Amino acid sequence: MKKNEAKISKSVIDNVTFIQKSFHSNSDLVVRSVIPPLTEGSLELSIVYLGTIADKVTIQEHIMRPILQMKTISSSHPIGDITNTIEVSDIQVVSFKDAVIKHLINGQTILLLEGMDHCISADTADWKDRSLSFPQLQRSVKGPQIGFTEISNNNISLVKRYVKNPNLVIEEQTIGDETNTSVSLMFLADKVDSEILDNIRNKIQSIQLNSILDSSYIEEMICEDQITPFPLILTTERPDVTSGHILEGKIAIFCDGSPNVLIAPALFIQFFHSSEDYYEKSLFELSRLVRIFSYIISIYLIPMYIAFTLFHQELIPSELIISLASQRQMVPLPVVIEVIVFMLIFQVILESSIRLPTGITLAFSIIGTIILGQSAADAGLVQLTTLVIVSATYVLNFAVPIQPFANAIKMIRFIFVFLASIFGIYGIMLGTFVLVNHLCKLNSFGAPYLSPIAPVHIADLKDTFIRMPLKKIINTPKKYTKDDYIKKQKNE
C-alpha cells in the first residue's frame, strides 16, 4: 500500500468520496448518512463499513441505535460524546487517511463527523471461521484434542488459555503489500533468547513478498539462507505443543489465515517428539526411540538391500541368499531399476491418494494394492522381496509425527540408492558422511540443528531420546547452545 500520510478533511462528503475512490466503488462498501434528531446542538455523520466483513447486527444495535437515541451533544467535544454513546468495546480515534482505509479492510466501522478532522473507528469485525475441531495432521490419543483454526486471534487465545502469564508477549506486524497479512510473534519475555528473537524479528520484517497466504510462505522466506531438505522450523497445529515450546523459551509465529503455527528455533530431535510423549508414562516409553529408529531405517533399508544383493552377497545368510536367487531367476529387470521404479510408483500412489475424491478411493486401493503389488509379483515383473523392502520403507517413514520432516528424506533416499548401486556399502558410508556433516552444519536461527547431540549438551539430553520424569525436565529449562551464526550475519 502506498503511504498516504494525509489527514482526513473536515467535510464528510470529501471523506466519503475519498474512501469510495480508494475502494474503487466496491459494491460491499456501505455508506450510511445519519442525522440524529437532537434537541440541543447539531450532528451530521456518516457510517462507513465493508458489508461483507463487518457484523451488521452489532452496527445496528450498538452503533446506530444509541446514536439515533442521542438527545444532546456538546459542541466542543462531539467525538467524546459519541464514543461514550457507542456500545462497542474497542474504539479508536483516527485522523489519517491510510489509517482509515486500513481499519476498513480489517472490518472496522468508521464514523465520519461533519466538521471534524478526526473520525471514530469501532471494531465490528466478524470473520467467518470454522469452529474449533480436532487437529487434522497431528492427532493424539491422550491429551488435549483441540486444533488451531485459520483465525490468528483465536489461535492466540487458545495458547493464552494454556499459558496464563503476564510475561507472554505478542508482537503483531503486518506484512505483504497486497494481502496485509497480520503476523504475530509470541514468546515469554523472561525466557526468550534476545539474540534469536532479534534475528527472527529482523528476518520477518525484511520479507519482500507481496502476498502471504499461509505460514509456510513465512517459513520459506526466513529460512532461505540455508539450502537443505530438512525443515528448520517446527510446524504445529496443536495449542498444547505450541505452549510447551513457548515455555521452553522458543518463539511462535502466528500467521493470520493459517492453522499452522511456526515454532523457532527447531531442533532435529524435536521433530521426533510428539505431545503424547509428555502425557504417557515416562522412562518406559519406547515410542521416541521407535520413531528415530524407523526414520533412520527408512533411509537405509533400500540402499542396504541393493548393496547386499549387488556387492556383498557373502554377508547374507545362505538360506536367504538362495531364496533371493530363486526369485531373481524369474524377474527381467535388474534389482536397481526394479527398486527405483517401485519407489517412484509408491511416490505416485502417495501423491495421488492425498487428493483423491472419496468416490474413487475403493477403486484406487484395488488398483494400487492388489494389481500393482500382488499381481505384479505373480506375473514375474517384480521380486516379492523388493516389494516388501520398498513398502516397509514407506511404512517406517510414516512413524514420524511431523509430515514435512518425514518428506525431507525422499530425495536423500534416492541419492543413497544411487550411491549404493555404484559403491555398495562404501557408497552408503560416503552418503552418510555427507549427510551427517550437512546436519552438523545446519542451524535453526542460531541453535545448532543437532543440539543437544552434536554439540553435546548433557543437561538437555534428559528430554531427547527418552523423556525423563517431568519433575526433572519442566523446571530446568533447556538451553540451546548458540553458534556464532547470528554474529556472522551481522558482520556481513
Partner 1 sequence: MHYKQTVGIIEMMFAMMLFLQGSTIILGVSLEAGKDVWLAVLSAGSAGLLLFSMYAYIWKKNDFQGLHVIFTNQLGKYLGFITSVVYSIYFAYIAARVITDFTQYINGTLLHNMLPFFIKFSIFLILIYTYLKGLEAFIRSAVIFGFFTLVFLLILPFIIVLSGIFNVEYIIPYDSIDVKQVAETVIPTLVTFPFGELIVFLALFPFIKERQSVFKGGSSVIIIFSIIYSILSFLIIGALHPDIASSYTYPFVAALEQLDTKYFIQRIDILAVIIFMIGGYFKITVFTFASIYVAKDCFSKTNINKAFLVSCIFIAIVLLSYTYSENHTMHIKVGLEIVPKYMHVPLQIIMPLIILLLTFVKTKRNKVR
Q: Which residues bind partner 1 (CB under 8 A)?
A: 311-312, 314-318, 320, 423-427, 429-430, 433-434, 436-441, 448, 450, 453-456, 481, 483-484
How far apart, in whole angstroms, are the C-alpha atoms of residue 205 and residue 220? 14
Which CB, 334 or 455, lies closer to partner 1?
A: 455
Q: With respect to partner 1, which residue has the nearer C-beta, 117 or 484?
A: 484
Could you tell me where the beta strands, DSSP code E, fall in 11-90? 29-34, 45-50
Q: How far is the CB of 411 from partner 1 (least distance, A)?
A: 17
Cell (9 digits) for 269:
530431535
Which cell is 348 given? Answer: 505416485
Instruction: Report, in Å, the least distance between residue 446 CB and partner 1.
Output: 13
The minimum distance between CB 455 and partner 1, in angstroms, equals: 5
Report, in Å, the least distance between residue 327 CB and partner 1.
Answer: 17
**Choice between 217 and 268, CB closer to partner 1:** 268
Q: Label residue 130 exposed, middle or buried (CB < 10 Å: 0-12, 13-18, 19+).
A: exposed
H helix or E strand, kind and range, residue 57:
helix 56-58
Nearer to partner 1 by C-beta: 96 or 311? 311
In the complex, the smallest distance separating the C-beta of residue 383 from partner 1, rounded to whole angstroms, is 18
Give min distance, CB of 265 to partner 1, in A: 16
> Which is closer to partner 1, CB of 252 or CB of 450?
450
Q: What is the DSSP annotation of 468-480?
A: PPHHHHHSS---P
User: How many other C-beta atoms are found inside a 10 Å radius of the C-beta of residue 35?
Assistant: 12
Instruction: Let me know: does 186 contact 262? Beta carbons within 8 Å.
Output: no
Work out how close the CB of 314 gets to partner 1 at its nearest, in angstroms, rounded to a whole number.
Answer: 8
311 vs 364, beta carbon nearer partner 1:
311
What sign does the CA torsion over 330, 336, 337, 338 have?
positive
Q: How far is the CB of 362 from partner 1 (least distance, A)?
A: 37
Q: Tell me whether residue 34 or residue 439 sits nearer to partner 1 (CB atom).
A: 439
* Closest listed residue to residue 18, CA positions, set 7, 33, 2: 7
**Residues 209/220, Cβ–Cβ less than 8 Å:** no
What minimum distance in Å lies between the beta carbon of 289 and partner 1? 14
Query: Looking at beta carbons only, is 73 or 453 nearer to partner 1?
Result: 453
- Residue 247's SS3 state is helix
Task: Pick the closer one to partner 1 by CB: 82 or 450.
Answer: 450
Q: Output b/e per residue, 342-353; b: 16+ Cβ within 10 A.
A: bbebbeebeeee
Q: Which is nearer to partner 1, 22 or 383 (CB)?
A: 383
What's the min distance (Å) between Cβ of 22 and partner 1? 53
In the complex, the smallest distance separating the C-beta of residue 321 from partner 1, rounded to whole angstroms, is 9
How far is 457 from 448, CA to CA, in rounded Å?
11
The least distance separating partner 1 from the CB of residue 296, rounded to whole angstroms, comes to 11
Cell numbers linked to 468: 525423563
Task: Please tell me whether the peptide bond between 265 and the residue prior to it is cis, using omega within 30 degrees of 0.
Answer: yes
All cell numbers assigned to 291: 520413531
Spatial contact of 389 and 260, defined as CB atoms under 8 Å apart? no
Contact between 420 and 304 (Cβ < 8 Å): yes
According to DSSP, residue 96 is labeled B
Separation of alpha carbons 458 and 391, rounded Å? 37
Residues 6+ apart with CB under 8 A from 364: 352, 353, 356
Q: What CA–CA distance (Å, rounded) separates 456 from 452?
A: 5
Question: In this complex, which beta carbon is closest to partner 1, that of residue 225 or of residue 351?
Answer: 225
Q: Which is nearer to partner 1, 19 or 396 (CB)?
A: 396
CA angle 421, 422, 427 (to 5 degrees): 90
